[in-house]
Amino acid sequence: MGFALGGAMALSGAVLTVPAEAAPNADTPVATTQLNNINPVPVRYGWVGASGFQYALGNAGNFQWAEYPGVTPPAHAGPDDLATGTDVQNAGTSGPVTQKHRSTGTTATVTIPTGQTYRAASGWSVLTQDADGALHVLRAAADGTTADLAVTGLPSGARPTGTYATGGSVRRLAVTYTLDGTSSLGLVDLADGTFRTYVGGVGTEPSITFNDSWLVVNRKAIRVDSEPGTAPVAVSFPAKPLAVVGDQLLSGDPDFISSPDDEAVTATSLATGARRTVLADADGAFRATPDGGLLATAGATAGDFHVYRVLPAGDGDVSARPVFTVPPVRAKVDGLMVAGGELLMFGNATPTPGWDAAYAVPLDPTGKPTGIQARRSPFIGSSPCLGGDAACPQLEALGDGRFAYLYTAADGKESVHVTGLATDTYSTEPTGSSGGRIGTGTGRYVLYNGGTPATQKIADFPRGADGETALDRTRSAAAIWGQRLWTPGTTQGSVVAYDLKARRNVATVNTGAPCTPSEIQAVNTWLYWSCGSAGPAGVHDRATGRNITVPAGPSRLADGYLVREDRTTHELLLTDFHTGTATTRTAAVLPTVDQNTGGNTGRWAVDRFGGNVAYLTAQGQVAIVTAGVPTSPLAQMEAQTDAAAGPTTQDPWQPVWQLSKPSTWTLTLTDASGNVVRDLTGDSRAAAVRASWDGRRDDGNRVAGTYTWRLTAEARDGQGPDLVTTGTTTVN
């Protein structure tokens, strides 16, 4: 097994289900999505209050305003009611301080008297210090003047040291002072101007977190309403203190992250010491709010990143709910694949140049995204694009969750690489050729057309192992569907099917082509042929024997339809031939300026496994168009069901059935007496069923013998009957 370039990075992504604007005379997309940078956008907090908050995205940009959804803001406003100060924004530190109650618009002005200096502001209150070192609490009066309340209670000879901290309160403000060489900390009651010392020996840069119930300094905690003389108690918590919310100390934002478990907001009860995780994946910004809460940015991916508001709950705990969704940043898409209801976007979603990878988004049968993006391949240090390729990059989705691409070594020789089931490995098979192209491929088989020498190889990648060459032949028109290779026959218009497992020809079909086809494609019972770019071209239906004429030109075959791009008009044309008569419509009008060098897997892609069409928009998003063509019945294309030694928990039996479209499935195992011993269920990965059985029955026992398996697969799109197939396996 080969190992990919690059290292482990966090995933992120999202989908947008707002349809893109359709071009004139083109289909309306059912949805759009985008390749998102895997790192969430940093959030910077400005002012925070009881009705909303100010924020800026990234390291630059202006602050914007966000209101809390479903929250009734404070109705009363005025300096005579300190509680309403939780929604007050203060501006100015010299001269007048202007105050605005955000939810009602009420304003006030605090004039700083001559000889006093601004120190801090909380709610409607402004703390100042005069030339003698005394502290004052200022507030706007109803008549427009400023009320000046002298702070009392500081010990004689104490000198404030310059630390004036706000917290989760508009009634209190923290102040440090020195006396006889010792630094201590206390709280000013802003309602009456009284000061009380709570903790001594706090050092020069103490960590200060408080609300109206608790004060936490460094790693000592004390209740605000404790009796004078009460000593603070030691408190243990992980990472940094962020806020006191109710009776809980919230901590997070570790300096060193050793695992994803470190990226969390943890609540530690200051009453009982009990601890729990409030928010996982919290590695963003944090801000204590003046109403006794906390704002925290958290999320597993960039497409699922939110601002959460943490507030006290009625049972002494805290609750966190999202109040703002952080929009992801779009990355550039350099290639597209669609297979088995999965959209694979290829590009660099990291901050490191050259780290390309494939990111998958699941789609429903109409093409609408149903989940967030997830990286599905290793980081690829060198692009799989080839110089001068008209459809760069070359990517071939195999319908089993994997895709194939070419890698060129320093000597110019190419290897076929296959990946998609893991983010840290790939499988490889050398070709011995250079300047080649990937043809088609499905499941375990990939067709490679060599340039120099001009050989044609079928690379076989069973069950994700490293590849081997299943067939080496003279280059000609060819296509793979399942375990069959389709190539021109010896008579005009004939096409021969070669079984790659049986290693013999198994069918000859007369397509009606008036030439030896220069191109062949195969999907289910459909065989596409072309006599060249000028045509003619057609589709043969092996199920009915019909020959259907279709438009000429480079095309991509799907289940019952064909897609081609008009490079002059930029139309993406869909030809529906499932009824036996070809009808063509404009599925999309592509951007006039190529975002890639054009072509299938560059600007657009088609799902051959019962799916739809995707293309790049002028805005760099990916739009999905529903093909609107009935799919063929669910069919098995190839299977790998050989028994495994054992099997055991460490080495289970892992059969793979390559089907023609996505399904939900049940694998039933019965013993020699016909008793059901195990039922396994699941959803296909793209169009492949991948099961795993450790040889144990439902009761946990492991009994040697021959077991009959029965796979029942139901098409996810609901079209056609269930597929049922059976066989045997052994437990030894």
**What is the C-alpha separation between 259 and 262, in angstroms, rounded?**
6
Inter-residue contact 14 to 440 (CB < 8 Å): no
- The answer on pLDDT for 553 being more than 50 is yes
Task: Find which of 72-76, 82-86, 101-105, 187-191 is predicted with most confidence, using mean pLDDT.
Answer: 187-191
- Matching residue, tokens 């109206």: 212
> What's the confidence (pLDDT) of residue 468?
95
Task: Tell me the residue ranges of DSSP E strands in 281-424.
Answer: 286-289, 293-298, 306-312, 318-325, 333-339, 342-347, 357-362, 374-375, 396-397, 403-408, 414-419
> What's the confidence (pLDDT) of residue 559?
98
Per-residue pLDDT of 207-219, as tens digits, reads: 999 999 999 999 9
> What's the confidence (pLDDT) of residue 596?
55
DSSP assignment of 554-572: SEEE-SSEEEEE-TTT-EE
Give the confidence band of 597 by pLDDT, cuts at 50, 70, 90: low
> What's the confidence (pLDDT) of residue 259?
74
Average pLDDT over residues 492-519: 97
Stated pTM of the model: 0.81
Pairing of strands 275-280, 64-67: unpaired
Burial 52-86 (b: 16+ CB within 10 A, else e): bbbbebeeeeeeeeeebeeeebbeebebeebebbb
Inter-residue contact 606 to 316 (CB < 8 Å): no
Q: With 0-12 CB in 10 A as exposed, 13-18 as middle and 19+ as buried, what is 131?
A: exposed
**What is the C-alpha separation between 393 and 397, in angstroms, rounded?**
12
Inter-residue contact 681 to 666 (CB < 8 Å): yes
Cis geometry, peptide bond prior to residue 393 (ω within 30 degrees of 0): yes
Q: Could you tell me the two tokens for 610?
A: 């019962």
**Residue that wins the pLDDT comparison between 601 and 158:** 158
Q: Could you tell me the two tokens for 547?
A: 């020959």
> What's the confidence (pLDDT) of residue 602?
77
Per-residue pLDDT of 619-673, as tens digits, reads: 999 999 999 999 999 999 999 999 999 999 999 999 999 999 999 999 999 999 9
Residue 724's alpha-carbon distances to 559, 658, 710, in angstroms, are 21, 13, 7
Percentage, residues of the chain above pLDDT 90: 81
- Matching residue, tokens 């109650």: 101
- The answer on pLDDT for 17 being more than 50 is no
Identify the three-state secondary structure at position 302: helix
Task: Tell me the residue ranges of DSSP E strands in 642-704.
Answer: 656-659, 663-670, 676-683, 688-690
Task: Find which of 39-43, 439-443, 463-467 is predicted with most confidence, using mean pLDDT.
Answer: 439-443
- The answer on pLDDT for 458 being more than 70 is yes
Average pLDDT over residues 681-706: 96
Q: How many CA atoms lie within 13 A of 169 on its CB side?
A: 22
Residue 129's alpha-carbon distances to 111, 136, 148, 157, in angstroms, are 14, 6, 11, 15
DSSP assignment of 29-87: PSEEE-PBPSSPPPEEEEEE-SSEEEEEESSSS--EEEEPTT--------TT-GGGGGG
Inter-residue contact 12 to 303 (CB < 8 Å): yes
**Residue that wins the pLDDT comparison between 24 and 61:** 61
Q: Could you tell me the two tokens for 502?
A: 């049986």
Average pLDDT over residues 2-31: 54
> What's the confidence (pLDDT) of residue 603?
87
Give the confidence band of 461 by pLDDT, cuts at 50, 70, 90: very high
Per-residue pLDDT of 243-256, as tens digits, reads: 999 999 999 998 87
> What's the confidence (pLDDT) of residue 466?
80
Q: What DSSP element (H or E) covers 480? A: strand 479-481
Residue 197's alpha-carbon distances to 129, 399, 691, in angstroms, are 18, 70, 66
Per-residue pLDDT of 324-341, as tens digits, reads: 999 999 999 988 999 999
> What's the confidence (pLDDT) of residue 4?
39
**Residue that wins the pLDDT comparison between 594 and 318:** 318
Identify the three-state secondary structure at position 262: helix
> What's the confidence (pLDDT) of residue 389?
55
> What's the confidence (pLDDT) of residue 413?
92
Type of residue numbered 512: G
**Residue that wins the pLDDT comparison between 519 and 386:** 519
Vertex 187, ends 147 and 307: CA angle to 5°? 95
Chain mean pLDDT for the chain: 92
Average pLDDT over residues 672-701: 96
- The answer on pLDDT for 9 being more than 50 is no
Residue 698's alpha-carbon distances to 564, 695, 711, in angstroms, are 51, 10, 17
Per-residue pLDDT of 120-165, as tens digits, reads: 999 999 999 999 999 999 999 989 999 999 999 999 999 999 899 9
